């Protein structure tokens, strides 16, 4: 099992950061170009809520379904891949107040690729450098949305 960690600080109160991530539009806001996201089903964030979507990497569609767990209104949540390109994917988002106006966002992913040819696509699209770029974009998008308020 592989892991990936990414943390950043944002100048926004804990409640604002949590609300931003609980919004059903968050995934679309946090998906970097040139990747396009097509939402099929998105339920309000709650225990066992489902998000089904397709990520378009150019002409290549990657279908994904995630189920949410450990949902806390202020502290974060976990999404677990129910179906998709990975053999296993568990992504925990944590929000921690560092002060009344500063929040730390933590991203922890446990993941595993399929072996052989079946895992080739996920190893290319979700390699460590690609994850780092994805979460750097998410950091910047979160800051742009919340720090201007």
Give residue-wise pLDDT tens across range 74-109.
Answer: 999 999 999 999 999 999 999 999 999 999 999 999
**Measured between alpha carbons, how far is 55 from 31 in angstroms, rounded to an integer?**
9
The DSSP H or E segment spanning 109 is: strand 103-112
Where residue 48 falls (left for φ over 0; alpha for ψ -120 to 50; beta otherwise) is left
Tokens 């996201």 found at: 37
- Write down the pTM of the prediction: 0.94
Query: Domain segments of the chain: what residues?
Result: 2-146
pLDDT digits (tens, 9 = 90+) for 121-148: 999 999 999 999 999 999 999 999 999 7
CATH class (in words) of the domain with range 2-146: alpha beta
> Which DSSP symbol is given to 118?
G
pLDDT digits (tens, 9 = 90+) for 17-31: 999 999 999 999 999
Spatial CB neighbours of 137, under 8 Å, sequence gap ≥ 6 = 30, 32
């Amino acid at each position: 099992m592989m892991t990936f960690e990414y943390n950043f600080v944002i100048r926004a109160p804990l409640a604002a950061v949590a609300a931003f991530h609980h919004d059903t539009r968050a995934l679309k806001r946090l998906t970097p170009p040139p990747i396009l996201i097509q939402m099929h089903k998105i339920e309000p964030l709650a225990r066992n809520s489902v998000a089904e979507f397709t990520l378009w990497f150019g002409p290549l569609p990657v279908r994904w379904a995630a189920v949410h767990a450990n949902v806390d209104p202020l502290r974060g949540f976990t999404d677990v891949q129910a179906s998709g390109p990975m053999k296993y994917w568990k992504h925990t988002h944590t929000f921690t107040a560092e002060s009344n106006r500063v929040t730390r966002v933590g991203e922890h992913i446990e993941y595993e690729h399929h072996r052989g040819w079946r895992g080739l696509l996920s190893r290319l699209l979700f390699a460590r450098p690609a994850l780092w770029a994805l979460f750097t974009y998410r950091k910047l998008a979160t800051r742009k949305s919340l720090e201007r308020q």
